[in-house]
Structure 1
Amino acid sequence: MNHTIQSDQELVAKLQTGQKSAFEEIYKKYWRKLYNIAFHQTGKKEEAEELVQDLFVGIWQRRETAQIKHLDLYLTLSIKNKIYDFIKSQISYRKYQEYIILKEVDLHFETDSIVNYLELTAAVEKVLSLLPEKSAQAFRMSRFEDFPVKKIAEEMALSEKAVEYHITKSLRFIKENLKTYYSAN
């Protein structure tokens, strides 16, 4: 049968009764138009072909229940809906991929930060163990416990100037001895 002879209404009526020839006629008549719409929207040959194929598979599967009054309009709207759903799923998939990648980066960054922090803490403690006891204690109270100089002086029974001296001495010593740590990281 030639598609120019049969009207769309006749093709739909025959399709609904399960006539494969009517389906093939509809396919031949509208495939190129639907493909062009899909290709224009997706920009990819394979995706456009797959969308049109899915549309025709759906039409065949719903041939007995589909309410098709204007075949051309029905097919055009159907392909546009398929394209819309496809693009929406692609956006969701990309967002999901970005989320996974960002979580991996974040997890890697957090792990690196924790490892670096632990390594730095161990290096500082090692250097502090090389200092005289009063200097190390003054430094710990100042930097780790946030004690003011006056409070440290009272606790250690030292003058404020002596505490400042111990802290300054500790900072210089730590800085000098952690150069190897910074050059390794």
Structure 2
Amino acid sequence: MKYQALTDEQLVDFLKSDNQSAFEEIYHRYWYKLLGVAYHETGTREEAEELVQDLFEKLWKRRHVSIIQHLSAYLVVSIKHLATNYIKSQITHRKFQEYLIFNEIRQSYATDETVQFSDLSKAVEEAMKKLPEKSVEIFKLSRFENQSVKAIAQQLNLSEKAVEYHITKSLKVLKEQLKAYHSDN
């Protein structure tokens, strides 16, 4: 039997009867056209070929349950549908990859900040050890507890000038000791 001479409707009938030659004729008749549609949709020949292959595989597997009235239209719509799903999956995959990269960068940045803060805290502690005990106490009250010079002076029974001296001295030592952590930003 010459399958090339058969109409699409006849080929579909033979296909439903498990006729592999009818399937091969459909494949040869529409492969190139479907490749062109898929290529137009995806932009890559490799992906287009894979989608056409998937379409024909599905056509064979679903030959008994598919309702095909116009074979050409059915195949073109099917390949467009497969191409659209492929593109959506690629977009979703790319967005997911971007999310993973962004999340990794964010975690890395957060870890770097934590490490830098920890290092800075240790450096501040070490620098504070180089200060006299009274200067450390005044500096902590001023900078860590946000107390005013006047309040510190009253609390420690010192003059305001003495408190300012200790704060200035502490800042000078800390600035010198923490040069490595200074940023030009």
TM range (shorter): over 0.9
Paired amino acid for 2:132: P
Paired amino acid for 2:98: E
- Structure 1 range deviating more: 60-69 or 132-141: 132-141
* Deviation by residue 1:100-136 (Cα, 9 ceiling, x = unmatched): 1111111111111111000001001101110111211
Partner of 2:131, secondary structure, is coil
Q: CA deviation at 1:42?
A: 1.2
State how 1:67-146 maps to structure 2 within 5 Å.
67-146=67-146
Look up the match of 2:7: 7
Partner of 1:65, secondary structure, is coil
Q: Is the 8 A contact 2:35 2:52 kept in 1?
A: yes
C-alpha distance in structure 2 between counterparts of 1:95 and 1:150, whole Å: 57
Q: Is the 8 A contact 1:149 1:164 kept in 2?
A: yes
Structure 1: stretches of 5+ with no match in the other structure:
none
Q: CA deviation at 1:14?
A: 0.7
C-alpha distance in structure 2 between counterparts of 1:74 and 1:180, whole Å: 70
C-alpha distance in structure 2 between counterparts of 1:173 and 1:35, whole Å: 75
What TM-score do the two structures reach when normalised by structure 1? 0.93
C-alpha distance in structure 1 between counterparts of 2:107 and 2:74, whole Å: 49
Q: CA deviation at 1:182?
A: 4.7
Look up the match of 1:45: 45
Structure 2: stretches of 5+ with no match in the other structure:
none
- Structure 1 range deviating more: 76-85 or 35-44: 35-44
C-alpha distance in structure 2 between counterparts of 1:72 and 1:37, whole Å: 12
Name the % identity: 52
Look up the match of 1:148: 148
- Structure 1 range deviating more: 150-159 or 56-65: 150-159
Look up the match of 1:171: 171
Q: Is the 8 A contact 2:12 2:68 kept in 1?
A: yes
Paired amino acid for 1:12: V
Partner of 1:63, secondary structure, is coil
What TM-score do the two structures reach when normalised by structure 2? 0.93
